[in-house]
Structure 1
């Protein structure tokens, strides 16, 4: 953890870094177009600071990373699922010179493509089940095998292997973004695009563009993520003129969902609406919810993003009106829990703390790893504790300790 421990709210971290930079509340508030009174309430936990656009503005002025204010990266706990080799082993796999140089002997024991394809699918399924430790612990070996396949096969088999390698790198980028390892996520997304480029496959390429967008999100580069959405959409649209496959439609639609989040965090409401409308039309064209290429794309995912973007834009009434009514039970666990965190945020912002805590506890019961690794759950829990006039409830104290935000 950089700079301080894990038991401070984002507002308290802002105060810590502000003092380190020698800035008064008046000066820092003025630099982001706010009042000193507002900043004082943020630093004293009287106002929730949960919009990434505002947090990013503060991080930029304080000259720290977004992860510094969000208390990232998060330590991956050792468990029976993860084993005792987690992010460092994945880092070593990504930094393996064999992935970037041709000066190597081709592997002699080539992985069978059918088995490799099944293993890639199984690990993506584990990610969507929010088994983050399991995924992190097994990605290094899967990357090695996928690289061997791409290096050793030829012809059509090599193209298939490159697609599988690209999807494995995409999973690594997605997982590392969840864990706050943004630099490694960028490397993984870049490697994935390089692996799949010779195939000319628009579906896998488009899917990897989404991972690049997520890497940009995680470092607060929202305007660049919006431009990436527009550029990637232009590339994919050349392949949508014929009869597109469900996978291509899903990748295209999901790209706009990621772009809508970026636009909302850039405080660009018109672009957010445009991207959501395009995603909605694409979902209608798809014909219903699906999970092609592990996108979980369809009308329900569009509704989830309407809630999340509304919260990012500060339109909390839309979030509180729509959020609890979205039925996510048919979606993968990762999507269900991510939406539950948005519902908890909306309830908390409307001072319905009991409902917010119930939503967060339900989410934790469904996917404890995912809740533990998300800044919203940590921020909400710490804020509730700081605002208690008396002794926090045993239920809230237990939650805080499980999230490692209370000594």
Structure 2
């Protein structure tokens, strides 16, 4: 279905799958605890459908994946940075049996780099991700995985542990990037591989960082309650290291809780979302400032960003609209800045302030076109605005829709 339904809104996809299942509006609406009038407005784009909790409930009743209603995974466009090999090449690298067995490990086809070179490669690609250069990251991840795997097989003792840490972080980057592209099954595989690699080292910091990736993978497939349980379990494990926590541990612990807060909000559990946010805020206060330890972008600003995101998922638009535009993200990595802009645009749109919503989204696209193109919120907001127009859409809106490839 990839690329076939990108020009439909989520509501129109709901209608398409409902008809395929032979269900009436009355039956589907009843199964999700809504009225037929509500569902009719959703399918006709008179009501915005942007809360993942509601979309997930509809997907469950229709017996389709969440990605089917979000039109994910999305096709990664070729560019100068991506080259002509993107997700399929990364899939092949993740499914190379030599990466998870000792069989053929002496034939990795690459010379293992020294640890300094490997550390530089890993850090450079994480920085590219935080700069929202998704094509470049996807293109270079297969080679980085091979380099890190070769280093693990080549080195021994402490050097091997260091190589395992770097391989774990590479798997985490793969999981994080693939989640952005809607490749949720591959993201799960990458996160699982990473945890297996670092578990033998006993390093709680890298393990904690990978727990967050597992949570993101659960979130991306609509398993919000599982993601909340994971957050509680992982935080419980990390608590023993928090008395004299390093800045890296504080950052990993805090970002784990932030991911959990969004999962709780999507599960409709406002109290748990607030608890996770409060605990993350405590960790940010201990850290003392915005930082980027282990590429977490953690600190008070990221906590504020997640407060807005959680409010949006809970449908608390008043909080999102009051807080969102006031959060100063100028010092944050580009990925965080643009992700927050998407939430602010959603809040404006839900408040019927479409001009401000469009202006916010256009600014986000100017900063990071790849990221806006590959996030369901940007695509769906634009499509819904066009469908709701009673007159000819503005040139700015039509142009944005064509760049996002949701309009011919």
Would you say the 8 A contact 1:316–1:346 is kept in 2? yes
Which residue in 1 is equivalent to 2:154? Answer: 152
Deviations 1:336-387 (A, max 9, x none): 0000000000000111000000000000000000000000000000001001
Measured in 2, the distance between the counterparts of 1:65 and 1:4 equals 16
1:354-365 counterparts in 2 under 5 A? 354-365=355-366
Moved segments of 4+, more than 6 Å: none
Which residue in 2 is equivalent to 1:139? Answer: 141
Once the two structures are TM-superposed, the CA of residue 100 in structure 1 deviates from its matched residue by 1.3
Which residue in 1 is equivalent to 2:209? Answer: 207
Deviations 1:260-317 (A, max 9, x none): 0000000001100110000011100111110100000000000011101001001000
Which residue in 2 is equivalent to 1:313? Answer: 314
Matched residue of 1:157: which SS? Answer: helix
Would you say the 8 A contact 1:320–1:347 is kept in 2? yes
Matched residue of 1:76: which SS? Answer: coil
RMSD of Structure 2 on Structure 1 (CA): 1.0
Which residue in 2 is equivalent to 1:104? Answer: 104
Equivalent residues, number: 406
Which residue in 2 is equivalent to 1:372? Answer: 373
Which residue in 2 is equivalent to 1:236? Answer: 238
Deviations 1:66-108 (A, max 9, x none): 0000011111110000000000000000000101111224368
Matched residue of 1:199: which SS? Answer: coil
Measured in 1, the distance between the counterparts of 2:314 and 2:36 equals 22
Which residue in 1 is equivalent to 2:192? Answer: 190
Which residue in 1 is equivalent to 2:338? Answer: 337
Measured in 1, the distance between the counterparts of 2:9 and 2:265 equals 23
Once the two structures are TM-superposed, the CA of residue 109 in structure 1 deviates from its matched residue by 3.2
Would you say the 8 A contact 2:198–2:206 is kept in 1? yes
Measured in 1, the distance between the counterparts of 2:158 and 2:152 equals 11
**Gapped regions of structure 1 (runs ≥ 5):** none
Taking a change above 3 Å as real, the CA distance of residues 11 and 334 of structure 1, as seen in their structure-2 partners, is same
Q: Normalising by structure 2, report the TM-score.
A: 0.98
Would you say the 8 A contact 2:187–2:217 is kept in 1? yes
Q: Normalising by structure 1, report the TM-score.
A: 0.99
Would you say the 8 A contact 2:308–2:343 is kept in 1? yes
Would you say the 8 A contact 1:348–1:356 is kept in 2? yes
Measured in 2, the distance between the counterparts of 1:152 and 1:238 equals 33
Which residue in 2 is equivalent to 1:272? Answer: 273
2:27 matches 1:10: no
Which residue in 1 is equivalent to 2:54? Answer: 54
Matched residue of 1:213: which SS? Answer: helix
Which residue in 2 is equivalent to 1:42? Answer: 42
Which residue in 2 is equivalent to 1:353? Answer: 354
Would you say the 8 A contact 1:257–1:302 is kept in 2? yes
1:256-267 counterparts in 2 under 5 A? 256-267=257-268
Measured in 2, the distance between the counterparts of 1:248 and 1:295 equals 11
Would you say the 8 A contact 1:110–1:153 is kept in 2? no
Which residue in 2 is equivalent to 1:178? Answer: 180
